[in-house]
């Protein structure tokens, strides 16, 4: 198998920086994968991407050096297995609120006897090599999302589930669940929640990750996050167009 840059960054104790794809299409995926990000994630939950779209996007990501990640639509056996069979080397699983839900997510991504993943690596084995089956359980990363007060209440149990490699904070849903406006913000209550997550990850040896942006990335890294999404295709596109328009009009 090829090296997994995301895992290599974690193994070196470094911060993995990533980009987020919400717009269907291989050209955008190829562009984002060519600029040196450690990972590129296809968002099949809130993005506009369906399964057929994701195949070409995964192919485009594999032309670069970034780890291909998929956020699946929901914590469901078929979604997780298909994303991995198509070539994802990490899955982000949304709305994992309980230990049982976390165990189900891990099982869906691991072959027996560790888990219950069905064998059928349609695209990923030809891409990664004949040793894919032998190494998949060690190289594929399972990343449940922490994005509700309920998940915070069950945090230690979720982090203790064998096979959880990292967690991924969804700041918008976590904020809403806490009674705050959606977003990656600097409300003291929200920042306290982040520090609680970081402390628990340290105790359990789990990599802390979160959805973010360039404006607050420095703070999140200094706090201790080691997986950070810093750009999103649609947001970056709109921002650059607005900047160009403003510059020319001015």
Report pLDDT digits (tens) over 63-104: 999 999 999 999 999 999 999 999 999 999 999 999 999 999
CATH superfamily of 5-249: Phosphoenolpyruvate-binding domains (3.20.20.60)
Tokens coding 134 = 């032998």
Active site residue 46: yes
Q: Say if residue 113 is preceded by a cis peptide, omega within 30 of 0.
A: yes
Return the pLDDT at 183: 80
Domain boundaries, the chain: 5-249
Question: CA–CA separation, 19 vs 186, rounded Å?
Answer: 22
Q: Which residue among the candidates 46, 79, 204, 211 is catalytic per the annotation? A: 46
Q: Which residue has the tokens 């996007």?
A: 57
- Other beta carbons within 10 Å of 143: 24
Whether residue 3 has pLDDT greater than 90? no
Q: Does residue 191 surpass a pLDDT of 90? A: yes
Q: What are the tokens at 54? A: 């994701």
Say if CB 170 and CB 150 are below 8 A apart.
Answer: no
Which pLDDT belongs to residue 2?
80
pLDDT band at 245 (very low <50, low <70, confident <90, very high): very high
Q: What are phi and psi of 248, to 5 degrees?
A: -70, -40
pLDDT digits (tens, 9 = 90+) for 168-185: 999 999 999 999 999 877
């Amino acid at each position: 198998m090829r090296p997994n840059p995301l895992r290599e960054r974690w193994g070196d104790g470094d911060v993995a920086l990533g980009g987020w794809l919400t717009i269907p299409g291989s050209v955008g995926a190829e562009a984002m994968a060519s600029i040196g990000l450690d990972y590129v994630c296809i968002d099949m939950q809130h993005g506009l991407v369906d399964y057929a779209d994701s195949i070409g996007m995964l192919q485009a990501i594999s032309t670069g050096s970034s780890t291909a990640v998929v956020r699946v639509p929901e914590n469901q056996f078929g979604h997780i297995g298909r994303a991995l069979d198509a070539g994802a080397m990490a899955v982000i699983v949304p709305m994992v609120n309980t230990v049982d839900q976390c165990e189900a997510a891990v099982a869906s991504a691991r072959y027996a006897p560790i888990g219950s993943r069905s064998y059928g690596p349609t695209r990923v084995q030809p891409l990664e090599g004949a040793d894919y089956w032998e190494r998949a359980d060690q190289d594929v990363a399972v990343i449940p999302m922490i994005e509700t007060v309920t998940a915070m209440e069950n945090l230690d149990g979720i982090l203790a589930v064998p096979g959880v490699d990292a967690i991924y904070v969804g700041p918008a849903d976590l904020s809403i669940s806490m009674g705050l406006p959606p977003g990656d913000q600097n409300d003291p209550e929200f920042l306290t929640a982040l520090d609680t997550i970081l402390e628990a990850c340290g105790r359990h040896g789990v990599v802390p990750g979160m959805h973010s942006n360039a404006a607050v990335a420095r703070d999140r890294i200094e706090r201790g996050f080691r997986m950070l999404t810093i750009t999103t295709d649609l947001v970056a596109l709109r921002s650059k167009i607005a900047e160009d328009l403003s510059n020319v009009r001015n």
